Structure 1
């Protein structure tokens, strides 16, 4: 026989069983500890690997300027053209001298062959043979000199067209139309965005860890403005410290640009850099389990008996598929992977509990 207390306890047991079934049906994931790299973050400055100021290599009047500041140029493009009238005249003169030297060489060869034939027949003296040899060698030397003068004149003519050494962007223009450019005077400055690097001043306290040979290849992380992270191990530590700040300059090479990669980076920008100097253990929770409601951040925790509760949490660094938990959770606790379904289940549990309380109050 059931007494009154046993009869009153039956609805409560049914409610608890229903709550347990609801909580058990949700997909969960444990709060677990992970070993994460320990980073020392610093601000770095982006700079271009290729930065060039083009100078004139011959003298001439600036006749044409084809590009200006902020213009994009391709490798080999003519940027500035100098007046080349005098240089073309020198090329013509050198070409004429070369033809004259070639004619004299041919004449010397013919004379040498004639003298050799006579010398074999004992019809000329040995001194005549020596003179023929000397004339041939002199004509050959004159031809070589004329060839060198022509090449030099052609090179000076080519210098009247100042070309881009690589594809990039013009940053400064140092000449105006009509100016006389002299050898060594600056003409244009430019940079290339295809190869970039980051310069960071690193405190001497962490330099030993940065230089440690047992570090993994990805020793530095570059945090781009679009939240992308670039990992690299290509770093150069300068072998001297700054006397004023006691910091070492570290140069970090970014991977070569592919397509639109790193297009958001430009020389002079500040970026966050993280030097991996060790490891640390931290609690993590899956990103899918985290709920953001206005200024409230929390997760739905599933208890051992399937009871659901909403727990406020304090999060740290965001990982690719998880958050670092700074407070609010313990290792091993189960969190719901579908916050929407967990919220519906929690509401059902609360309604069932209120209905049970009301029934007991009227019973």
Structure 2
């Protein structure tokens, strides 16, 4: 009797221990399922690309030349300086030009006086002619004298305008905002307007309107013409799409390459004339898996993403490719329709808490 009682108690104890050994009930497991933000990755149709190096150029580039004979008085800006539209780049001595303008002004005053006399004389002759006291020839001569005086005044005014223009030529201003790229003269140097050709003074390039020129092999030209799409791969991982792709209709006979010009909308803070930049041309279609940049997990040289599979969170190592705005291409390590956790820090905290949770 006592032995039977002991066996019953032992059975009850084993049953209780078995119940304690059960990790979670279905309801508890459901409560412990991770609630992490995810995105389901899909295969997206995108351009297949080929990348070549291009050179950034300024659309507006000018070499300002001397338009009057003078001596350099001032050079306010040096190479590399940024200037605004209308800023003085070169100032010359203007003694001769001011003297010529004053002489032209005096010539205008003399011509006006001559015109007043000639006009008064013509009016007197015309009044006498109306009375029949003089011949037609006398009236015609007075009219020609008045017209000659008017022509002399017009010539004097034109000479004054030319002299004033030469005074304006003694101050060279920036035709647009840009950067000084060359300085061909020095203070105190005498310059000539020509002949045989005007003397160069200042080189200026605009930073507001830029374009990119790329040399591409002839094997890729037809695909580039067909797709008409190219993007600049900038240093910060961003992409800048070209507003227009122009393929030159002839090849370099020495290199057998074609020049392709990319026009850009406005300027970009990281682009400057003369620098090289990577350009990705669309040459076909392909499939890409894109994930948010914030979903990537980095540890040393390893890159991975956390994926949610049912109630399990796993860390997968991936290899990434080019960046597309706020997303990046996953080349390997991930398959379509997987749920990628967009907050890797939260996923790491979840896994850490799961490992350190004491067992009951």
Same fold by TM-score greater than 0.5: yes
Change in Cα spacing, 1:19 to 1:188, as seen in structure 2 (3 Å) is same
List aligned pairs for 1:223-234, cutoff 5 A: 223-234=233-244
1:57 shift after superposition: 0.7
Tell me how many residue pairs correspond in the alignment: 344
List aligned pairs for 1:191-340, cutoff 5 A: 191-212=205-226, 215=228, 219-257=229-267, 262-304=268-310, 306-340=311-345
Alignment gaps of 5+ in structure 2: 1-10
Change in Cα spacing, 1:19 to 1:283, as seen in structure 2 (3 Å) is farther
1:26 shift after superposition: 3.8
1:81 matches 2:87: no
Q: 1: distance between equivalents of 2:177 and 2:104? A: 34
What RMSD, in angstroms, separates the aligned Cα atoms of the two structures? 3.0
State the TM-score, normalizing by the size of structure 2.
Answer: 0.84
Please state whether the residue corresponding to 2:219 is helix, strand or coil: coil
Equivalent residue, structure 2, for 1:361: none
Q: Per-residue displacement from partner, 1:182-219 (whole Å, max 9, x unpaired)?
A: 0001122222222222111122222223323x75xxx2
Change in Cα spacing, 1:20 to 1:283, as seen in structure 2 (3 Å) is farther
Please state whether the residue corresponding to 1:318 is helix, strand or coil: strand
Q: Check the 8 A contact 1:19/1:349 in 2, yes or no.
A: no
Change in Cα spacing, 1:172 to 1:26, as seen in structure 2 (3 Å) is closer
Please state whether the residue corresponding to 1:264 is helix, strand or coil: coil
1:123 shift after superposition: 0.6
Q: 1:35 aligns with which of 22, 28, 45?
A: 45
Q: Check the 8 A contact 1:78/1:163 in 2, yes or no.
A: yes
Please state whether the residue corresponding to 1:75 is helix, strand or coil: coil
Q: Check the 8 A contact 2:237/2:323 in 1, yes or no.
A: no
Q: 1: distance between equivalents of 2:300 and 2:169? A: 65
Alignment gaps of 5+ in structure 1: 357-363
Please state whether the residue corresponding to 1:245 is helix, strand or coil: coil
Change in Cα spacing, 1:325 to 1:8, as seen in structure 2 (3 Å) is farther
State the TM-score, normalizing by the size of structure 1.
Answer: 0.83
1:157 matches 2:167: yes
